């Protein structure tokens, strides 16, 4: 692997799709490696240290959800998940898996590359207000420079998108943020077509941070409850 290229791990068991995605990403200037099943995906992620993982859901060995869990437990890395159908995307969003974006098959390479670039752009920019350093609110301790979070002294591992979402809620604590505003501020999306992505990440954040922090304002959006 060469110096400063952006590395993408493609996890897909259908060889034609894997090959097509890998070829296109290589043509776009990315470093690419491919894994075809769950266990080798986890192994590859460890050895290759990709900047992003393109992850199919249905895989031999164990599935993409398990790959996501195991990889994220070791090192936060952005994940773009490939799903077979829209209802599969809904299911995964409901589970709060922690993928940064979802692309439904069949997809165009152009769309996939655009989504990958959008996620990378988001993750590579400094955390919002990074210069301000650490913030404490209630039992939360957020170090924006180091992108680390603790609740009640316990370290919480967040994906890059979950972290940005938490910082956005924290900066506006007490206020209710609509899904559209969160999409625009955290994801840089001007349209509101991806609001279920917001729900997915809120769900994952709640699971990791524990109860009593993020309030759902029905029909409006979300707010962070932490007392300052
Ligand atoms: Ca598959």
83 C-alpha to ligand 1 centroid (Å): 9
pLDDT of the residue at 125: 67
Domain limit, last residue, from 75, 90, 124? 124
Please state, in angstroms and as integers, the Cα–Cα distance from residue 65 to each residue in 37, 48, 174, 197, 203, following that order. 12, 20, 33, 16, 15
pLDDT of the residue at 127: 55
Are 131 and 117 members of one domain?
no
Residue 87 neighbours by CB under 8 Å, 6+ apart: none
Are 45 and 83 members of one domain?
yes
14 C-alpha to ligand 1 centroid (Å): 6
Count of structural domains, the chain = 2
pTM confidence score: 0.71
Residues bordering ligand 1, an ion, CB closer than 5 Å: 13, 56, 58
- Are 76 and 160 in contact by the 8 Å Cβ rule? The answer is yes
Are 113 and 160 members of one domain?
no
37 C-alpha to ligand 1 centroid (Å): 9
pLDDT of the residue at 104: 87
Domain limit, last residue, from 124, 149, 180? 124
CATH number of residue 170's parent domain? 1.10.10.10
Are 93 and 55 members of one domain?
yes
pLDDT of the residue at 195: 77
pLDDT of the residue at 48: 97
Are 108 and 180 members of one domain?
no
Supply the range of the domain harboring residue 113: 3-124
Are 111 and 209 members of one domain?
no
pLDDT of the residue at 200: 82
Label residues 142-181 b or e (16+ Cβ within 10 Å = b): bebeebebebeeeebebbbbbbbbbbbbbbbbeeebbbbb
pLDDT of the residue at 132: 61
Helix, strand, coil in percent for the chain, rounding step 5: 45, 20, 35
CATH number of residue 37's parent domain? 3.40.50.2300
Place of tokens 């404490």: 136
Are 7 and 105 members of one domain?
yes
18 C-alpha to ligand 1 centroid (Å): 10
Domain limit, last residue, from 77, 96, 124? 124
Which candidate, 1, 77, 82, places its Cα nearest to that of 46?
A: 77
Are 133 and 101 members of one domain?
no
Q: How many residues appear in the chain?
A: 228
Backbone dihedral angles phi then psi of residue 119, each to the nearest 5 degrees: -65, -45
154 C-alpha to ligand 1 centroid (Å): 36
Are 160 and 97 members of one domain?
no
Cα–Cα distance, 79 to 68 (Å, whole number):
8
pLDDT of the residue at 25: 98
Helices (H), 158-217: 160-171, 179-187, 195-209
Mean pLDDT of the chain: 86
pLDDT of the residue at 12: 98
Cα–Cα distance, 157 to 209 (Å, whole number):
9
Laid out side by side, the sheet with 148-151 consists of: 134-137, 140-143, 148-151, 154-156
| Spans of the chain below 50 pLDDT | 1, 228
């Amino acid at each position: 692997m060469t110096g400063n290229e952006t590395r993408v791990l493609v996890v897909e068991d259908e060889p034609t799709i894997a090959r097509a995605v890998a070829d296109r990403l290589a043509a776009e200037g990315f470093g690419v490696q491919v894994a075809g099943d769950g266990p080798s995906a986890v192994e590859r992620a460890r050895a290759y240290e990709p900047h992003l993982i393109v992850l199919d859901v249905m895989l031999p060995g164990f599935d993409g959800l398990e790959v996501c869990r195991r990889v994220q437990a070791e090192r936060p890395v952005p994940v773009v998940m490939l799903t077979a159908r829209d209802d599969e995307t809904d299911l995964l969003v409901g589970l709060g898996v922690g993928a940064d974006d979802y692309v439904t098959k069949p997809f165009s390479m152009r769309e996939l590359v655009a989504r990958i670039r959008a996620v990378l752009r988001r993750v590579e920019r400094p955390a919002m207000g990074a210069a301000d350093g650490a913030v404490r609110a209630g039992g939360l301790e957020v170090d924006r420079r180091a992108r680390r979070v603790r609740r009640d002294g316990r370290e919480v591992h967040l994906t890059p998108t979950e972290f940005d979402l938490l910082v956005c809620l924290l900066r506006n604590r007490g206020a209710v943020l609509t899904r559209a505003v969160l999409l625009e501020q955290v994801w840089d999306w001007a349209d509101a077509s991806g609001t279920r992505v917001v729900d997915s990440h809120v769900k994952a954040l709640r699971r990791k941070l524990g109860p009593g922090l993020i309030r759902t304002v029905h029909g409006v959006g979300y707010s962070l409850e932490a007392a300052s």
